[in-house]
Amino acid sequence: MILSLIVINWTIIIPSAHAGFCRQIDDHQVCIVKIKRSAKNYWEYRASVKIEQETKPIELYDCRQRHRLTQEGGIIPFKSNGVGQLICRVLNR
C-alpha cells in the first residue's frame, strides 16, 4: 500500500519537474518546448520555444551558419545572448 502511494506521488511529481528546459534571457523566461536534432546535419535543430508564455512555431536553428529559418522561409541571424545561441550552446556539449 505504501509503495503504491510512493509510486503514484512520484509519477505526479516527475512531469512537472521536467516540463521543459527554461532559462532567463534578458528579463524574459525562455523555454524549449520541443526540440529535434537533424540526423543528416548534426548542427541543425528543429525547435519550438516559449517566450513569456507565448509558444512560437517550430523553426530550424542552424548552429553552423548562426541563423534560424522561419516556417515562411525567412532567414534571421542569431542575436547575441538569444534563443539560437542558447540552443546551440546547451545542446552541443
Instruction: Look at residue 42 and tell me if it is in a domain.
Output: yes
Backbone angles phi, psi at 29, to 5 degrees: -85, 115
Locate cell 528579463: which residue? Answer: 27
- Per residue of the chain (93 residues), give pLDDT as tens: 543 433 333 333 333 333 468 999 888 999 999 999 999 999 999 999 999 989 999 999 999 999 999 999 999 999 988 999 989 987 766
Instruction: Look at residue 5 and tell me if it is in a domain.
Output: no
Instruction: Look at residue 14 and tell me if it is in a domain.
Output: no
Instruction: Look at residue 81 and tell me if it is in a domain.
Output: yes
Query: Could you give the CA distance from residue 58 to residue 51 in angstroms, rounded to a whole number?
Result: 13
Specify the pTM: 0.74
Domain count, the chain: 1
What residue numbers bound the domain in which 84 lies? 20-91
Instruction: Look at residue 45 and tell me if it is in a domain.
Output: yes
Instruction: Look at residue 72 and tell me if it is in a domain.
Output: yes
